[in-house]
Amino acid sequence: MSTPAKRNTWQREAVREALGHNDGFVSAQALHAVLREGGSPIGLATVYRALADLATADEADSLQSPDGENLFRACTSSGHHHHLICRSCGLTVEIEAHAVEAWAQDVAAEHGFTAAQHVVDVFGLCAACTKLAAH
């Protein structure tokens, strides 16, 4: 009872693989669409569940887009890192933020805060999308 006994299903694998094949962050809806187009008759609810599981197991990173959508991305490096995300095409670049890490700790300590966590993500338009938007 303490161990709920996880089972391995092709659906879970399909989601894991689809995530791995994608470079940027994807919404659950989009991933579901991709899987359906790829032939898998997987259910939407199942995609949500699989993604939630992956996120819990630290196999995927999740963040909220400015639109309030939940986006997911395969996360190989278990280390702490941040992202630079194209808000148009979803291209994602992992970025280091040593300075920001330190800054966050300092600011928190300065105000007597402990157990500081931080949310640091940069959204923008990547070079390609900038060109398209400019025309």
User: Cα angle at 115 between 110 and 120, to 5 degrees?
Assistant: 80
Choose which of 1, 6, 127, 135 interacts with a second copy (CB under 8 A): 127
Sign of CA dihedral 67, 70, 76, 81: positive
* Residue 70 makes contact with a second copy by CB under 8 A: yes
Say which entry of a second copy, DNA, none residue 118 contacts (CB below 5 to 8 A, set by partner kind).
Answer: a second copy
Binding mask 24-63 for DNA (x = CB under 7 A): ---xxx-----------xxxxxx-xxx-x-----------
Largest CA distance in the chain: 60
Look-up: residue for tokens 């997987």?
Answer: 42
Choose which of 4, 66, 79, 112 interacts with DNA (CB under 7 A): 4
Task: Please count the other Cβ atoms lying within 10 Å of the Cβ belonging to residue 95.
Answer: 14
> Would you say 59 is a known binding-site residue?
no
